[in-house]
Amino acid sequence: QIVYVNGEFVPAAEAKVSVFDRGFLMADAVYEVTSVVGGKLLAFDGHIERLQRSLSELEMASPVTMDELLQIHRDLIAKNNLEEGGIYLQVTRGAPDARDFAWPDPAEVPSGIVLFTFEKPLIDSAIMDAGIKVMSIADERWGRRDIKTTQLLYPSFAKMQAKKQGCQDAWLVEDGYVTEGTANNAYIVKDGVIITRELSTDILHGITRAAILRFAIEAQMKVEERLFTIEEAQNADEAFVTSATGFAQPVIEIDGAQIGTGVPGDISKRLREIYTEEMIKAAI
Ligand code: PLP
């Protein structure tokens, strides 16, 4: 596998980053994951815009321009013959000489960048047709979840708790309301209305979420952006999650309670179809 690290394309086994890298020591880094289908990027512009926002919220500079980033993504796809899967991109604040909580001067310590590809079946994935089971757990992440940082220990912990309970994912709950999944945005459907939490610093502003809501409205479906509880979700007709590599994925069980008839719902399935078709059409 060929990866990109700080200006160079190298075999993964030869790629090196400093032990002083603040991404490694302090999770002082932001990331993006962009899906690839048929060798082309899905929703690239959205991911790059969010990357720029994450960087600016943390006063971090990008070591390459956004145009260069598109070329690096394309070169990596070509070098790895990637047909279907994704590209992981991480910008870190760089590697100062010593470990210090204060950020280094960006003029002295350049930020670092790493990208790599991964293969993953995105279109015909059996789990997506079957739906997933989720478990609820307290949301104990930091308060700026709108910034896509590499502080992923708590979501990782939550996912492990879910797996121990025989679930595929966890829905995080704060002050009685669902925030989002460990790595996806959460939705319920009741009487034909698609309900999802409104955007704020409490959740990641999903690129897939934006597209799904746009497609839903274009298809004359009703959308409500508001808070909902686990209890309301358990009594919904359908539930689903969205993410760049999961598209729209039906949820069939929450904390042991079957959702609707216990099989993927029609609206969830329809949204997945529209999303897949439209995003592949618009891939670059
Ligand atoms: N919420 C969280 C916490 C995530 O980590 C992710 C994706 O990784 C999402 C939502 C979905 O975002 P996107 O649709 O941009 O992949």
Residue 127 pLDDT: 66
Residues with CB under 6 A from ligand 1: 180, 183-185, 204, 206-209, 242-244
Q: How do 84-92 and 112-119 pair as beta strands?
A: antiparallel
- pLDDT grade, residue 219 (50/70/90)? very high
Amino acid at the residue 224 = E
* Catalytic site includes residue 148: yes
Residue 124 pLDDT: 76
Q: What are the tens digits of pLDDT across the range 47-67?
A: 999 999 999 999 999 999 989
Q: Which domains does the chain have, with CATH numbers?
A: 2-119 (3.30.470.10), 126-281 (3.20.10.10)
- pLDDT grade, residue 279 (50/70/90)? very high
C-alpha distances (whole Å) from 73 to each of 65, 115, 147, 200, 208 are 12, 8, 22, 29, 19
- In this predicted complex, what is the ipTM? 0.99
User: What is the best residue among 204, 249, 279 to mutate for testing ligand 1's pocket, by most ligand atoms within 8 Å of CB?
Assistant: 204
Q: Is the pLDDT of residue 221 over 90?
A: yes
Q: How do 193-196 and 222-225 pair as beta strands?
A: parallel
Residue 222 pLDDT: 98
Residue 225: how many other CB atoms lie within 10 Å: 12
52 token code pair? 């720029």
Distance (angstroms) between ligand 1 centre and the Cα of 107 equals: 31
Residue 261 pLDDT: 93
Distance (angstroms) between ligand 1 centre and the Cα of 228 equals: 18
Phi, psi of 28 (to 5 degrees): -85, 70
Q: Is the pLDDT of residue 175 over 70?
A: yes
Does the global pTM surpass 0.80? Answer: yes
Percentage with pLDDT > 90 across the chain: 97
Average pLDDT, the chain: 96
For residues 233 and 188, the answer to whether their CB atoms sit within 8 Å is: yes
Q: What are the tens digits of pLDDT across the range 89-136?
A: 999 999 999 999 999 999 999 999 999 999 999 997 776 778 999 999
C-alpha distances (whole Å) from 117 to each of 112, 156, 162, 203 are 17, 21, 27, 26
Q: Give the span between the Cα atoms of 186 and 167, in whole angstroms.
A: 15
Distance (angstroms) between ligand 1 centre and the Cα of 203 equals: 9
Q: What are the tens digits of pLDDT across the range 190-207?
A: 999 999 999 999 999 999
- pLDDT grade, residue 274 (50/70/90)? very high
Shortest-distance atom of ligand 1 to CA 152: 5
Amino acid at the residue 155 = P
